Amino acid sequence: MTAPAAAPLEARVPAAEAITRAAATAEPVSLAEVNERAQLLARFDRSYLVPADTFSRVAARLTDPRRAGGAFRALDIDGRRAFRYHSVYYDTPGLRAFHDHRQGRRLRFKIRERVYEDSGERQFEIKLKGRRGDTVKHRRPLTGAEHPLDAPFRAFLAVTLGETYGIDAPTALGPSLSTDYLRTTLVADGERVTCDAGLVCTDLRAAGRTVRCDGGLVLVETKSTGHLTETDRLLHAHGLRPADFTKYCGAYAALRPALPANRWRRAARHAFAG
């Protein structure tokens, strides 16, 4: 007998259900308009681990048509508002990117390939820290059989690190971690709120060891050119504060207990409980 097909993620995970419901009830906004009004390749990011019911209350406030300045809208591409993301991070054998972030080095970076699974689009991305502590993203599209470690992308990495930081690019790079999740995005002028559910992180150097985010938590990231947004204030009003958590470093804190990762350990235990 053939086993029944698994229910889609949004029907099985409270956090996924919450983000898809919030996006479905909001007015749509196109990708072109997002890129015009809130692309934010240079921005301040703040992360929160938000219970699904709290997220629903906050999202309802943001998408309320009566909101001063207009309601947040949901990114809509060809009628779809929830998108599957797959990323592969690249690091040195000694995990230089991880340790540079652990030590708070100003000249730190992350390298990844991002795949938008619903469209097949692929991007090679380099994330840097600006002088104000903001995140600055540099990206180039990947097409066909192109690989992030091919010569043109290594050259792009070398130029980016050389011109921005005045440092050489690492030569020994390999896949280190993959992440998969479902995302919806709420948008207002100059501000984006990404809402992720069902996060799965896999250590690509440890026989595919995997951790999964608590299905009742939404990973909310506020992105803006300023330090504090309305979304931040709403989350603070519900007793939530930014979590010292990134997908890459938080996952390694959970996957490799022997790593010196105290700054992320508490949030990682909360995110990947059980």
Ordered per-residue pLDDT tens for the chain, 274 residues: 444 444 566 656 899 999 999 999 999 999 888 887 655 556 688 999 999 999 999 999 999 999 988 999 999 999 999 999 999 999 999 999 999 999 999 999 999 999 999 999 999 999 998 777 778 899 999 999 999 999 999 999 999 999 999 999 999 999 999 999 999 999 988 788 999 999 999 999 987 799 999 999 999 999 887 778 899 999 999 999 999 999 999 999 999 999 999 999 999 999 998 6
pLDDT at 73: 96
The CA R_g of the chain, rounded to the nearest whole Å, is 19
**Angle at alpha carbon of residue 209, lines to 204 and 210, rounded to 5°:** 100
pLDDT at 116: 96
Number of neighbours of residue 172 by Cβ within 10 angstroms: 9
pLDDT at 204: 96
Q: Where are the beta strands (DSSP E) in the chain?
A: 28-29, 42-51, 73-75, 83-91, 109-116, 121-129, 135-142, 174-188, 191-203, 209-212, 217-224
Which CATH code for domain 9-271? 2.40.320.10
Here the tokens at position 27 are 């007015």
For the chain, domain boundaries? 9-271
Task: Give the CA-trace dihedral at 98, 99, 101, 105, to 10 degrees.
Answer: -150
Specify the residue for token string 């896949």: 175
**Alpha carbons 14 and 56: distance in angstroms, whole number:** 11
Here the tokens at position 255 are 């996957």
pLDDT at 3: 42
**Alpha carbons 27 and 56: distance in angstroms, whole number:** 16
**Alpha carbons 259 and 37: distance in angstroms, whole number:** 40
pLDDT in tens, 18-53: 999 999 999 999 988 888 765 555 668 899 999 999
**pTM score, two decimals?**
0.92
pLDDT at 2: 44
Are 223 and 192 a contacting pair, CB within 8 Å?
Answer: yes
Residues in Cβ contact with 42 at an 8 Å cutoff, skipping those fewer than 6 apart: 130, 134, 135, 136, 137, 225
**Alpha carbons 78 and 75: distance in angstroms, whole number:** 10
195: β partners: 184, 220
pLDDT at 30: 93
pLDDT at 224: 84
Residues in Cβ contact with 136 at an 8 Å cutoff, skipping those fewer than 6 apart: 41, 42, 127, 128, 129, 130, 164
pLDDT at 64: 96
